[in-house]
Amino acid sequence: MKLTHSYKQATVDGKYDVIIIGSGISGLAAGALLAKAGRKVLILERHYTPGGFTHMFKRKDYEWDVGIHYIGEVHKPTSVLGQVFAYLSDNQLEWAEMGEVYDKIIFGDEVYDFRTGIDNFKEELKKHFPAAEDQQAIDEYVQVVFDVAKVGGGYFAERAMPKPISFLFGKFMRRGLLKIASQSTREVLEKITKNEKLIGVLCGQYGDYGLPPAESSFAMHAMVAKHYFRGGSYPVGGSSRIFDTIAPAVLKAGGAIYTNADVKQILVENGKTTGVLMADGKEIHAPMVISSAGVMNTYYHLLPEEVSEKAGLPQKIKSLTPSSAHLSLYIGLKHTAEELGIEKPNLWIYPDNYNHDENVNNFRKDSKAPLPVVYISFPGAKDPDFTNRFPGRTTIEIITIAPFENFSKWDGTRWKHRGEDYDAYKEELSQQLLEYLYKYVPQTKGKIDYYELSTPLTTKHFINYEHGEIYGIDHTPDRFKQTHLRPQTPIKGLYLTGQDIVTAGIGGALFGGVITAAAILKKNLVKQMMSQKVG
Protein backbone atom coordinates (compact mmCIF):
# COMPACT_ATOMS: atom_id res chain seq x y z
CA MET A 1 0.00 0.00 0.00
CA LYS A 2 1.38 3.42 -0.99
CA LEU A 3 1.18 5.38 2.24
CA THR A 4 1.97 8.92 1.09
CA HIS A 5 1.80 11.18 -1.93
CA SER A 6 4.08 14.10 -2.61
CA TYR A 7 2.16 17.36 -2.58
CA LYS A 8 4.54 18.58 -5.31
CA GLN A 9 3.40 15.84 -7.67
CA ALA A 10 -0.26 15.18 -6.82
CA THR A 11 -3.19 17.46 -6.24
CA VAL A 12 -5.19 17.18 -3.07
CA ASP A 13 -8.76 16.44 -3.99
CA GLY A 14 -11.82 15.18 -2.17
CA LYS A 15 -13.46 16.39 0.97
CA TYR A 16 -11.94 15.80 4.37
CA ASP A 17 -13.42 16.07 7.85
CA VAL A 18 -10.13 17.00 9.46
CA ILE A 19 -6.80 18.43 8.32
CA ILE A 20 -3.81 17.53 10.48
CA ILE A 21 -0.64 19.60 10.24
CA GLY A 22 2.32 17.28 10.75
CA SER A 23 2.80 13.51 10.51
CA GLY A 24 4.81 12.94 13.71
CA ILE A 25 3.56 10.39 16.20
CA SER A 26 0.98 12.80 17.67
CA GLY A 27 -0.58 13.88 14.38
CA LEU A 28 -0.51 10.32 13.12
CA ALA A 29 -2.07 8.89 16.30
CA ALA A 30 -4.81 11.53 16.33
CA GLY A 31 -5.41 10.86 12.63
CA ALA A 32 -5.57 7.07 13.06
CA LEU A 33 -7.97 7.32 16.01
CA LEU A 34 -10.26 9.73 14.17
CA ALA A 35 -10.09 7.50 11.09
CA LYS A 36 -10.99 4.45 13.16
CA ALA A 37 -14.03 6.45 14.29
CA GLY A 38 -15.00 7.00 10.64
CA ARG A 39 -13.52 10.45 9.95
CA LYS A 40 -11.80 11.28 6.68
CA VAL A 41 -8.44 12.69 7.62
CA LEU A 42 -5.91 14.63 5.56
CA ILE A 43 -2.40 14.78 6.99
CA LEU A 44 -0.10 17.45 5.58
CA GLU A 45 3.62 17.06 6.25
CA ARG A 46 6.17 19.63 5.09
CA HIS A 47 9.16 17.24 5.15
CA TYR A 48 9.73 14.96 2.16
CA THR A 49 9.76 11.99 4.57
CA PRO A 50 6.77 11.38 6.86
CA GLY A 51 6.91 10.63 10.58
CA GLY A 52 8.27 13.77 12.26
CA PHE A 53 10.85 12.72 14.82
CA THR A 54 10.06 9.05 14.14
CA HIS A 55 11.32 9.26 10.57
CA MET A 56 14.57 7.66 9.42
CA PHE A 57 17.02 8.78 6.76
CA LYS A 58 19.50 6.89 4.60
CA ARG A 59 23.04 7.65 3.43
CA LYS A 60 25.26 5.16 1.60
CA ASP A 61 24.61 1.73 3.10
CA TYR A 62 23.18 3.03 6.34
CA GLU A 63 19.97 4.23 7.89
CA TRP A 64 19.42 6.19 11.13
CA ASP A 65 16.52 7.15 13.34
CA VAL A 66 16.43 10.81 14.38
CA GLY A 67 14.23 11.08 17.46
CA ILE A 68 13.85 7.72 19.12
CA HIS A 69 16.46 5.64 20.84
CA TYR A 70 14.41 3.71 23.34
CA ILE A 71 10.89 3.56 24.65
CA GLY A 72 9.71 2.22 27.97
CA GLU A 73 6.51 0.39 28.85
CA VAL A 74 5.76 -0.96 25.38
CA HIS A 75 6.99 -4.52 25.44
CA LYS A 76 4.17 -5.63 27.70
CA PRO A 77 0.92 -5.46 25.71
CA THR A 78 -0.91 -5.07 29.02
CA SER A 79 0.71 -1.66 29.58
CA VAL A 80 -1.37 1.28 28.38
CA LEU A 81 1.34 2.44 25.99
CA GLY A 82 1.88 -1.07 24.59
CA GLN A 83 -1.85 -1.46 24.11
CA VAL A 84 -2.25 1.90 22.37
CA PHE A 85 0.53 1.06 19.92
CA ALA A 86 -0.95 -2.39 19.31
CA TYR A 87 -4.38 -0.86 18.67
CA LEU A 88 -3.12 1.85 16.33
CA SER A 89 -0.86 -0.45 14.34
CA ASP A 90 -3.31 -3.37 14.25
CA ASN A 91 -0.64 -5.41 16.05
CA GLN A 92 1.88 -4.84 13.29
CA LEU A 93 4.47 -2.95 15.35
CA GLU A 94 6.99 -5.13 17.15
CA TRP A 95 9.35 -4.16 19.94
CA ALA A 96 12.79 -5.53 20.80
CA GLU A 97 13.70 -5.29 24.46
CA MET A 98 17.11 -3.87 25.32
CA GLY A 99 17.67 -6.45 28.04
CA GLU A 100 19.30 -6.30 31.45
CA VAL A 101 20.69 -2.75 31.29
CA TYR A 102 19.10 0.13 29.39
CA ASP A 103 21.23 3.12 30.41
CA LYS A 104 24.80 3.46 31.64
CA ILE A 105 25.40 6.67 33.55
CA ILE A 106 29.05 7.66 33.37
CA PHE A 107 30.92 10.31 35.35
CA GLY A 108 34.57 10.22 34.35
CA ASP A 109 35.52 6.59 34.99
CA GLU A 110 32.60 5.71 37.28
CA VAL A 111 29.82 3.74 35.54
CA TYR A 112 26.35 3.27 37.04
CA ASP A 113 24.06 0.79 35.32
CA PHE A 114 20.31 1.43 35.25
CA ARG A 115 19.07 -2.14 35.38
CA THR A 116 15.70 -3.34 34.18
CA GLY A 117 13.18 -3.97 36.95
CA ILE A 118 12.60 -1.85 40.03
CA ASP A 119 14.34 -4.19 42.47
CA ASN A 120 17.34 -4.52 40.16
CA PHE A 121 17.46 -0.77 39.68
CA LYS A 122 17.55 -0.20 43.42
CA GLU A 123 19.96 -3.04 44.13
CA GLU A 124 22.47 -1.83 41.55
CA LEU A 125 22.40 1.75 42.83
CA LYS A 126 22.73 0.57 46.40
CA LYS A 127 25.98 -1.21 45.48
CA HIS A 128 27.39 2.20 44.59
CA PHE A 129 25.83 3.97 47.57
CA PRO A 130 26.25 1.64 50.57
CA ALA A 131 25.68 4.25 53.33
CA ALA A 132 22.44 3.61 55.23
CA GLU A 133 21.04 7.10 54.57
CA ASP A 134 21.71 6.72 50.82
CA GLN A 135 20.02 3.32 50.70
CA GLN A 136 17.00 4.80 52.41
CA ALA A 137 17.05 7.75 49.99
CA ILE A 138 17.04 5.37 47.01
CA ASP A 139 13.94 3.58 48.35
CA GLU A 140 12.24 6.89 49.07
CA TYR A 141 13.11 8.21 45.62
CA VAL A 142 11.51 5.23 43.84
CA GLN A 143 8.42 5.62 46.00
CA VAL A 144 8.10 9.34 45.16
CA VAL A 145 8.48 8.56 41.45
CA PHE A 146 5.57 6.13 41.67
CA ASP A 147 3.50 8.63 43.64
CA VAL A 148 3.81 11.04 40.70
CA ALA A 149 2.63 8.39 38.25
CA LYS A 150 -0.53 7.88 40.33
CA VAL A 151 -1.62 11.50 39.94
CA GLY A 152 -0.38 12.04 36.37
CA GLY A 153 -3.28 10.24 34.66
CA GLY A 154 -5.95 12.56 36.06
CA TYR A 155 -3.92 15.66 35.25
CA PHE A 156 -3.66 14.78 31.56
CA ALA A 157 -7.10 13.17 31.20
CA GLU A 158 -8.63 16.47 32.28
CA ARG A 159 -7.22 18.06 29.14
CA ALA A 160 -9.43 15.92 26.95
CA MET A 161 -12.59 16.97 28.76
CA PRO A 162 -15.12 19.44 27.41
CA LYS A 163 -14.82 22.92 28.92
CA PRO A 164 -17.87 22.82 31.22
CA ILE A 165 -16.78 19.52 32.81
CA SER A 166 -13.20 20.67 33.07
CA PHE A 167 -14.46 23.91 34.65
CA LEU A 168 -16.19 21.88 37.35
CA PHE A 169 -13.59 19.16 37.98
CA GLY A 170 -10.36 20.43 36.37
CA LYS A 171 -8.85 22.00 39.45
CA PHE A 172 -9.41 18.86 41.46
CA MET A 173 -7.96 16.60 38.74
CA ARG A 174 -4.87 18.75 38.25
CA ARG A 175 -4.19 19.34 41.93
CA GLY A 176 -2.27 16.14 42.73
CA LEU A 177 0.30 16.44 39.97
CA LEU A 178 0.61 20.20 40.22
CA LYS A 179 1.71 19.96 43.82
CA ILE A 180 4.81 18.07 42.72
CA ALA A 181 5.13 19.49 39.19
CA SER A 182 5.53 23.02 40.50
CA GLN A 183 8.74 21.95 42.27
CA SER A 184 12.03 21.51 40.46
CA THR A 185 13.72 18.12 40.33
CA ARG A 186 16.50 19.46 42.53
CA GLU A 187 14.08 20.79 45.14
CA VAL A 188 12.40 17.40 45.49
CA LEU A 189 15.63 15.39 45.44
CA GLU A 190 17.31 17.62 48.00
CA LYS A 191 14.47 16.79 50.39
CA ILE A 192 15.33 13.11 49.91
CA THR A 193 19.13 13.26 49.99
CA LYS A 194 21.97 15.69 50.53
CA ASN A 195 24.33 13.48 48.53
CA GLU A 196 25.16 15.42 45.34
CA LYS A 197 26.69 12.30 43.81
CA LEU A 198 23.42 10.40 44.26
CA ILE A 199 21.40 13.32 42.86
CA GLY A 200 23.74 13.40 39.86
CA VAL A 201 23.26 9.69 39.17
CA LEU A 202 19.48 9.74 39.71
CA CYS A 203 19.29 12.58 37.18
CA GLY A 204 21.52 10.69 34.75
CA GLN A 205 18.75 10.62 32.13
CA TYR A 206 17.99 14.35 32.30
CA GLY A 207 18.88 14.55 28.60
CA ASP A 208 15.62 12.67 27.95
CA TYR A 209 13.73 15.82 28.91
CA GLY A 210 16.41 18.41 28.24
CA LEU A 211 16.75 20.38 31.48
CA PRO A 212 19.11 19.92 34.44
CA PRO A 213 17.70 19.30 37.95
CA ALA A 214 17.36 22.92 39.15
CA GLU A 215 15.36 23.89 36.05
CA SER A 216 13.19 20.86 35.26
CA SER A 217 9.87 20.05 36.85
CA PHE A 218 10.12 17.00 39.08
CA ALA A 219 6.94 15.69 37.45
CA MET A 220 8.76 15.39 34.14
CA HIS A 221 11.77 13.77 35.75
CA ALA A 222 9.57 11.24 37.55
CA MET A 223 7.55 10.38 34.46
CA VAL A 224 10.70 9.65 32.47
CA ALA A 225 12.37 7.67 35.27
CA LYS A 226 9.28 5.51 35.80
CA HIS A 227 8.81 5.09 32.06
CA TYR A 228 12.11 3.19 31.89
CA PHE A 229 12.15 1.38 35.25
CA ARG A 230 10.96 -1.82 33.58
CA GLY A 231 13.44 -1.47 30.73
CA GLY A 232 13.74 0.04 27.29
CA SER A 233 12.63 -1.23 23.88
CA TYR A 234 13.35 -0.37 20.28
CA PRO A 235 11.04 -0.77 17.27
CA VAL A 236 11.96 -3.87 15.26
CA GLY A 237 12.82 -2.65 11.76
CA GLY A 238 13.65 0.87 12.98
CA SER A 239 11.62 3.87 14.05
CA SER A 240 10.01 4.39 10.63
CA ARG A 241 8.01 1.23 11.33
CA ILE A 242 5.90 3.40 13.61
CA PHE A 243 4.63 5.49 10.70
CA ASP A 244 4.48 2.51 8.33
CA THR A 245 2.27 0.48 10.65
CA ILE A 246 -0.07 3.26 11.85
CA ALA A 247 -0.60 5.20 8.61
CA PRO A 248 -2.74 2.45 6.97
CA ALA A 249 -5.50 3.16 9.53
CA VAL A 250 -5.78 6.70 8.14
CA LEU A 251 -5.90 5.51 4.53
CA LYS A 252 -8.38 2.69 5.15
CA ALA A 253 -11.00 5.25 6.19
CA GLY A 254 -10.54 7.26 2.99
CA GLY A 255 -7.90 9.62 4.35
CA ALA A 256 -4.67 10.71 2.69
CA ILE A 257 -1.16 11.73 3.73
CA TYR A 258 0.90 14.21 1.74
CA THR A 259 4.59 14.95 2.18
CA ASN A 260 6.28 18.12 0.85
CA ALA A 261 3.08 19.80 1.98
CA ASP A 262 4.06 22.98 3.80
CA VAL A 263 1.17 24.69 5.56
CA LYS A 264 1.69 28.43 5.66
CA GLN A 265 -1.36 29.51 7.59
CA ILE A 266 -4.45 28.25 9.35
CA LEU A 267 -7.50 29.89 7.80
CA VAL A 268 -9.95 31.49 10.23
CA GLU A 269 -13.25 33.18 9.45
CA ASN A 270 -15.48 34.68 12.13
CA GLY A 271 -13.62 32.91 14.91
CA LYS A 272 -13.83 29.52 13.23
CA THR A 273 -11.21 27.63 11.25
CA THR A 274 -12.07 26.88 7.64
CA GLY A 275 -8.90 25.05 6.57
CA VAL A 276 -5.33 25.88 5.65
CA LEU A 277 -3.38 28.01 3.22
CA MET A 278 -0.45 26.14 1.69
CA ALA A 279 2.98 27.68 1.04
CA ASP A 280 2.22 27.57 -2.72
CA GLY A 281 -0.86 29.75 -2.20
CA LYS A 282 -3.52 27.02 -2.53
CA GLU A 283 -6.30 26.76 0.03
CA ILE A 284 -7.55 23.43 1.38
CA HIS A 285 -10.82 23.57 3.26
CA ALA A 286 -12.10 21.47 6.15
CA PRO A 287 -14.23 22.25 9.19
CA MET A 288 -11.54 21.08 11.58
CA VAL A 289 -7.77 21.57 11.77
CA ILE A 290 -5.36 19.91 14.21
CA SER A 291 -1.88 21.35 14.55
CA SER A 292 0.96 19.14 15.74
CA ALA A 293 3.54 21.74 14.73
CA GLY A 294 4.13 22.90 18.31
CA VAL A 295 2.26 25.50 20.30
CA MET A 296 4.77 28.28 19.52
CA ASN A 297 4.67 27.63 15.78
CA THR A 298 0.89 27.46 15.83
CA TYR A 299 0.19 30.57 17.87
CA TYR A 300 3.08 32.77 16.64
CA HIS A 301 3.31 31.72 12.99
CA LEU A 302 0.50 29.57 11.67
CA LEU A 303 -2.46 31.60 12.89
CA PRO A 304 -2.94 35.02 11.29
CA GLU A 305 -1.38 37.54 13.68
CA GLU A 306 -4.60 39.50 14.25
CA VAL A 307 -6.53 36.31 15.06
CA SER A 308 -3.88 35.10 17.47
CA GLU A 309 -3.65 38.53 19.15
CA LYS A 310 -7.42 38.88 19.43
CA ALA A 311 -7.66 35.52 21.18
CA GLY A 312 -4.81 36.53 23.52
CA LEU A 313 -2.72 33.54 22.45
CA PRO A 314 0.78 35.11 22.35
CA GLN A 315 0.09 36.43 25.85
CA LYS A 316 -0.79 32.95 27.09
CA ILE A 317 2.48 31.38 25.92
CA LYS A 318 4.87 34.23 26.57
CA SER A 319 6.31 32.68 29.74
CA LEU A 320 7.11 29.40 27.97
CA THR A 321 10.63 28.85 26.65
CA PRO A 322 11.82 26.70 23.75
CA SER A 323 13.87 23.67 24.79
CA SER A 324 17.56 23.56 24.00
CA ALA A 325 18.79 22.65 20.55
CA HIS A 326 21.01 19.64 19.90
CA LEU A 327 23.69 18.07 17.71
CA SER A 328 23.43 14.50 16.44
CA LEU A 329 26.36 12.69 14.91
CA TYR A 330 25.21 9.81 12.72
CA ILE A 331 27.88 7.17 12.30
CA GLY A 332 28.11 4.12 10.01
CA LEU A 333 30.54 1.24 10.47
CA LYS A 334 31.37 -1.56 8.05
CA HIS A 335 31.11 -4.22 10.75
CA THR A 336 28.20 -5.67 12.64
CA ALA A 337 27.58 -4.68 16.24
CA GLU A 338 28.32 -8.26 17.19
CA GLU A 339 31.69 -8.26 15.42
CA LEU A 340 32.67 -5.10 17.25
CA GLY A 341 31.30 -6.23 20.61
CA ILE A 342 28.93 -3.26 20.71
CA GLU A 343 26.17 -3.65 23.27
CA LYS A 344 22.66 -2.22 23.49
CA PRO A 345 22.67 0.07 26.54
CA ASN A 346 22.79 3.82 25.91
CA LEU A 347 25.74 5.70 27.36
CA TRP A 348 25.17 8.99 29.20
CA ILE A 349 28.56 10.59 29.62
CA TYR A 350 29.09 13.48 32.03
CA PRO A 351 32.08 15.47 33.24
CA ASP A 352 33.64 14.41 36.58
CA ASN A 353 31.44 16.95 38.37
CA TYR A 354 28.19 15.28 39.48
CA ASN A 355 26.38 18.61 39.64
CA HIS A 356 24.51 18.79 36.32
CA ASP A 357 23.32 22.34 36.95
CA GLU A 358 26.88 23.59 37.30
CA ASN A 359 27.99 21.67 34.21
CA VAL A 360 25.16 23.11 32.11
CA ASN A 361 25.69 26.65 33.39
CA ASN A 362 29.44 26.48 32.76
CA PHE A 363 28.74 25.39 29.20
CA ARG A 364 26.13 28.09 28.66
CA LYS A 365 28.66 30.70 29.75
CA ASP A 366 31.47 29.24 27.67
CA SER A 367 30.84 26.77 24.86
CA LYS A 368 34.48 25.64 25.15
CA ALA A 369 33.70 24.27 28.64
CA PRO A 370 33.33 20.45 28.83
CA LEU A 371 30.14 19.23 27.19
CA PRO A 372 27.58 18.88 30.01
CA VAL A 373 26.15 15.68 28.51
CA VAL A 374 27.08 13.33 25.69
CA TYR A 375 24.66 10.54 24.82
CA ILE A 376 25.65 7.56 22.70
CA SER A 377 23.07 5.19 21.24
CA PHE A 378 23.59 1.99 19.27
CA PRO A 379 20.55 1.50 17.04
CA GLY A 380 22.32 -1.11 14.91
CA ALA A 381 22.70 -3.24 18.05
CA LYS A 382 19.19 -2.59 19.39
CA ASP A 383 17.27 -3.47 16.24
CA PRO A 384 17.35 -7.28 15.67
CA ASP A 385 16.33 -6.68 12.05
CA PHE A 386 19.17 -4.25 11.29
CA THR A 387 21.63 -6.75 9.86
CA ASN A 388 18.90 -8.26 7.65
CA ARG A 389 18.51 -4.86 6.00
CA PHE A 390 22.18 -3.85 6.18
CA PRO A 391 24.35 -6.97 6.29
CA GLY A 392 27.82 -6.46 7.72
CA ARG A 393 27.01 -2.97 9.02
CA THR A 394 26.09 -1.17 12.20
CA THR A 395 25.23 2.38 13.25
CA ILE A 396 25.88 4.65 16.21
CA GLU A 397 24.45 8.06 17.15
CA ILE A 398 26.02 10.63 19.43
CA ILE A 399 23.94 13.50 20.77
CA THR A 400 24.70 16.57 22.82
CA ILE A 401 22.99 19.84 23.56
CA ALA A 402 24.04 22.90 21.55
CA PRO A 403 22.85 26.50 21.83
CA PHE A 404 20.98 27.65 18.73
CA GLU A 405 22.88 30.96 18.93
CA ASN A 406 26.12 29.18 18.01
CA PHE A 407 24.53 28.53 14.61
CA SER A 408 22.37 31.61 14.13
CA LYS A 409 24.84 33.30 11.80
CA TRP A 410 24.08 30.58 9.23
CA ASP A 411 20.32 30.75 9.80
CA GLY A 412 18.70 31.50 6.45
CA THR A 413 21.40 29.75 4.41
CA ARG A 414 20.42 26.75 2.30
CA TRP A 415 20.69 23.17 3.55
CA LYS A 416 23.92 21.59 2.23
CA HIS A 417 25.05 25.05 1.00
CA ARG A 418 25.69 26.84 4.29
CA GLY A 419 29.30 27.66 3.53
CA GLU A 420 32.83 26.41 4.21
CA ASP A 421 33.00 27.97 7.67
CA TYR A 422 29.85 26.10 8.67
CA ASP A 423 31.25 22.83 7.32
CA ALA A 424 34.51 23.43 9.16
CA TYR A 425 32.65 24.11 12.41
CA LYS A 426 30.63 20.93 11.91
CA GLU A 427 33.82 18.96 11.36
CA GLU A 428 35.36 20.36 14.54
CA LEU A 429 32.24 19.40 16.52
CA SER A 430 32.14 15.95 14.90
CA GLN A 431 35.73 15.27 15.94
CA GLN A 432 34.97 16.44 19.48
CA LEU A 433 32.09 13.95 19.68
CA LEU A 434 34.10 11.14 18.10
CA GLU A 435 36.70 11.52 20.86
CA TYR A 436 34.00 10.46 23.34
CA LEU A 437 33.19 7.43 21.24
CA TYR A 438 36.84 6.39 21.01
CA LYS A 439 37.27 6.78 24.75
CA TYR A 440 34.20 4.78 25.79
CA VAL A 441 33.86 2.39 22.84
CA PRO A 442 37.53 2.14 21.75
CA GLN A 443 36.98 -0.78 19.39
CA THR A 444 35.27 1.66 16.97
CA LYS A 445 38.51 3.56 16.32
CA GLY A 446 39.64 3.11 12.73
CA LYS A 447 36.37 1.34 11.85
CA ILE A 448 34.21 4.33 10.96
CA ASP A 449 33.06 4.34 7.35
CA TYR A 450 30.74 7.35 7.39
CA TYR A 451 29.64 10.17 9.67
CA GLU A 452 27.42 13.19 9.32
CA LEU A 453 26.48 15.83 11.86
CA SER A 454 23.05 17.39 12.19
CA THR A 455 22.88 20.80 13.87
CA PRO A 456 20.07 22.96 15.28
CA LEU A 457 19.66 24.35 11.75
CA THR A 458 18.99 20.83 10.47
CA THR A 459 16.20 20.42 13.03
CA LYS A 460 14.80 23.80 12.04
CA HIS A 461 14.97 22.98 8.35
CA PHE A 462 13.39 19.54 8.53
CA ILE A 463 11.04 19.59 11.51
CA ASN A 464 10.27 23.32 11.65
CA TYR A 465 11.19 24.09 15.24
CA GLU A 466 12.20 27.75 15.08
CA HIS A 467 15.12 27.49 17.51
CA GLY A 468 16.02 23.92 16.56
CA GLU A 469 14.29 22.73 19.76
CA ILE A 470 14.92 19.12 20.70
CA TYR A 471 11.72 18.72 22.76
CA GLY A 472 9.30 21.55 21.89
CA ILE A 473 8.69 23.78 24.91
CA ASP A 474 10.80 23.41 28.05
CA HIS A 475 9.62 21.11 30.85
CA THR A 476 9.84 23.68 33.61
CA PRO A 477 7.56 23.83 36.66
CA ASP A 478 5.82 26.80 34.98
CA ARG A 479 4.86 24.71 31.94
CA PHE A 480 2.83 22.33 34.08
CA LYS A 481 0.77 25.24 35.46
CA GLN A 482 -0.43 26.25 31.98
CA THR A 483 -3.99 24.99 31.73
CA HIS A 484 -4.28 26.20 28.12
CA LEU A 485 -1.81 23.54 26.89
CA ARG A 486 -4.64 21.30 25.82
CA PRO A 487 -6.32 20.16 22.60
CA GLN A 488 -9.05 22.81 22.57
CA THR A 489 -8.15 26.34 21.50
CA PRO A 490 -10.24 29.53 21.57
CA ILE A 491 -10.62 29.20 17.76
CA LYS A 492 -13.60 27.01 16.91
CA GLY A 493 -12.56 23.87 15.06
CA LEU A 494 -8.84 24.36 15.77
CA TYR A 495 -7.13 21.82 18.01
CA LEU A 496 -3.58 21.32 19.21
CA THR A 497 -1.79 18.02 19.61
CA GLY A 498 1.74 16.77 20.21
CA GLN A 499 4.49 16.86 22.77
CA ASP A 500 3.62 20.41 23.83
CA ILE A 501 0.21 19.48 25.20
CA VAL A 502 1.39 16.43 27.17
CA THR A 503 5.18 16.00 27.37
CA ALA A 504 8.11 15.25 25.10
CA GLY A 505 8.87 11.62 24.37
CA ILE A 506 7.21 9.23 21.97
CA GLY A 507 4.83 8.19 24.76
CA GLY A 508 4.00 11.79 25.71
CA ALA A 509 3.44 12.90 22.13
CA LEU A 510 1.41 9.76 21.39
CA PHE A 511 -0.88 10.59 24.31
CA GLY A 512 -1.08 14.10 22.88
CA GLY A 513 -2.66 12.48 19.83
CA VAL A 514 -4.93 10.35 22.00
CA ILE A 515 -6.28 13.22 24.10
CA THR A 516 -6.84 15.37 21.01
CA ALA A 517 -8.86 12.63 19.33
CA ALA A 518 -10.68 11.99 22.64
CA ALA A 519 -11.54 15.68 22.96
CA ILE A 520 -12.94 15.74 19.40
CA LEU A 521 -14.83 12.45 19.66
CA LYS A 522 -15.88 13.13 23.26
CA LYS A 523 -14.97 9.56 24.20
CA ASN A 524 -12.67 7.89 26.71
CA LEU A 525 -10.42 6.38 24.08
CA VAL A 526 -7.91 4.92 26.51
CA LYS A 527 -10.67 2.86 28.13
CA GLN A 528 -11.87 1.80 24.68
CA MET A 529 -8.37 0.75 23.58
CA MET A 530 -7.62 -1.09 26.82
CA SER A 531 -10.72 -3.21 26.36
CA GLN A 532 -9.62 -4.45 22.90
CA LYS A 533 -7.88 -7.81 22.63
CA VAL A 534 -4.31 -7.44 21.37
CA GLY A 535 -1.09 -9.40 21.29
Fill in the amino acid letter for 407. Answer: F
Query: Site residues for ligand FAD, window 449-508 (CB under 6 A)?
Result: 463-464, 470-471, 498-499, 504-507
**Among the listed residues 300, 286, 250, the one whose alpha carbon sits nearest the alpha carbon of residue 517:** 250
Q: Closest approach of Cβ 26 to ligand FAD, in Å? A: 3
In the bound state with ligand FAD, the residue whose beta carbon lies nearer, of 241 and 326, is 326
Q: Is 180 in the site for ligand FAD (CB under 6 A)?
A: no
**88 contacts ligand FAD (rule: CB under 6 A):** no
8-state DSSP, 472: S
* Distance from C-alpha of 43 to C-alpha of 21, rounded to nearest angstrom: 6
- For ligand FAD, which is the closer residue by CB, 64 or 354? 64
CA angle 255, 293, 177 (to 5 degrees): 110
Q: Which residues pair with 246 in a beta bridge?
A: none
Options 69-77, 152-160, 215-223, 313-321: segment touching ligand FAD (CB under 6 A): 69-77
Residues from 242 through 301 that contact ligand FAD (CB under 6 A): 261-263, 292-293, 297
> Does 509 engage in binding with ligand FAD (CB under 6 A)?
yes
Instruction: Give the nearest distance from C-beta 87 to ligand FAD in angstroms.
Output: 18
In the window 319-338, what residues touch ligand FAD (CB under 6 A)? 326, 328
Closest approach of ligand FAD to the CB of residue 470, in Å: 4
In whole angstroms, how far apart are CA 259 and each of 51, 52, 421? 10, 11, 32
Q: Which is nearer to ligand FAD, 353 or 482 (CB)?
A: 482
Nearest to 142 by CA among 207, 230, 234: 230
Tell me the C-alpha distance between 372 and 391, whole Å.
35
- Min dist. Cβ of residue 97 to ligand FAD (A): 14
Question: Collapsing DSSP states into helix, strand and coil, what is residue 488?
Answer: strand
Cβ of residue 134: shortest distance to ligand FAD, in angstroms?
Answer: 29
Min separation Cβ 194 and ligand FAD, Å: 31
Q: Which stretch binds ligand FAD (CB under 6 A): 63-71, 105-113, 378-386, 523-531?
A: 63-71
# of chain residues touching ligand FAD (CB under 6 A): 40
Rounded-to-integer distance, Cα 372 and Cα 58, Å: 29
Q: Which of residues 399, 434, 457, 494 is near ligand FAD by CB under 6 A?
A: 399
DSSP 280: T
Residue 206 is a binding residue for ligand FAD (CB under 6 A): no
Count the Cβ atoms, other than its own, within 10 Å of residue 179.
12
Q: Taking the complex as a whole, how short is the minimal distance between the CB of residue 140 and ligand FAD, in angstroms?
A: 26
Nearest CB to ligand FAD, comparing residues 493 and 498:
498
> Is residue 53 a contact residue for ligand FAD (CB under 6 A)?
yes
Query: Would you say 280 or 421 has its CB closer to ligand FAD?
Result: 280
Compare residues 173 and 325 and give the one whose CB is closer to ligand FAD.
Answer: 325
| CA 58 vs CA 41, 390, 451, 474: distances in Å | 29, 11, 12, 30
CB distance 459 to 326 below 8 Å: yes
Coil, strand or helix: which one is 129? Answer: coil
* Per-residue exposure over 464-477, b if at least 16 CB sit within 10 Å of its own CB, e if not: bbebbbbbbbbbbb
C-alpha separations of 161 from 166, 430, 523 in Å: 6, 47, 9
Q: Which residues bind ligand FAD (CB under 6 A)?
A: 21-27, 44-47, 52-54, 67-71, 261-263, 292-293, 297, 326, 328, 399, 463-464, 470-471, 498-499, 504-507, 509, 512
